[in-house]
Amino acid sequence: MTAFDLDTRNMWSTMQEILTALCDPTRRAALAILCDSGEHCVCELMARLDVSQSRMSRHMKVLREAGLVLDRRDAQWVRYRRNPDLALEFSAVIDAVLAAEFNLGRKVA
């Protein structure tokens, strides 16, 4: 196996993780909210998306583990923002998924 093959496998593994994270409508909606370049705590996200705190926290954990969001502890709050260091190819996929959902008339946030 060459280094190129390994890089390609890693890329597809990462893409699979990202697409799996994007399968859930609540996670897509949370990402759409985070597209404003600001930070949001779970309490803000759960209020806007009408989900429980534990459910929202689980969704954010999936997004964080997929590398789509970063978190920062602020006293008792955890604030989330979209990962600005995500590879452009992966960011483009996320943007395309969110744009397609918006263009199809579905509410994403």
Query: How confident is the model over 72-109, as pLDDT tens digits?
Result: 998 888 999 999 998 888 888 888 888 888 777 765 55
**pTM of the predicted protein model:** 0.81
Residue 37 has what pLDDT? 74
Residue environment code for 6-44, b if the CB has 16+ CB neighbours within 10 A, otherwise e: eeeeeeeebeebbeebbeeebbbbbbbbbeeeebbbbeb
- The verdict on residue 55 lying in a domain is yes
Residue 72 has what pLDDT? 93
Residues 6+ away with beta carbon under 8 Å from 38: 81
> Where residue 84 sits, what CATH number does that domain have?
1.10.10.10
User: 26-57: per-residue pLDDT in tens?
Assistant: 999 999 999 887 899 999 999 999 999 999 99
Mean pLDDT along residues 55-75: 94
Q: What's the domain range around 10?
A: 6-103
* Residue 66 contacts residue 21 (beta carbons within 8 Å): yes
- The verdict on residue 109 lying in a domain is no
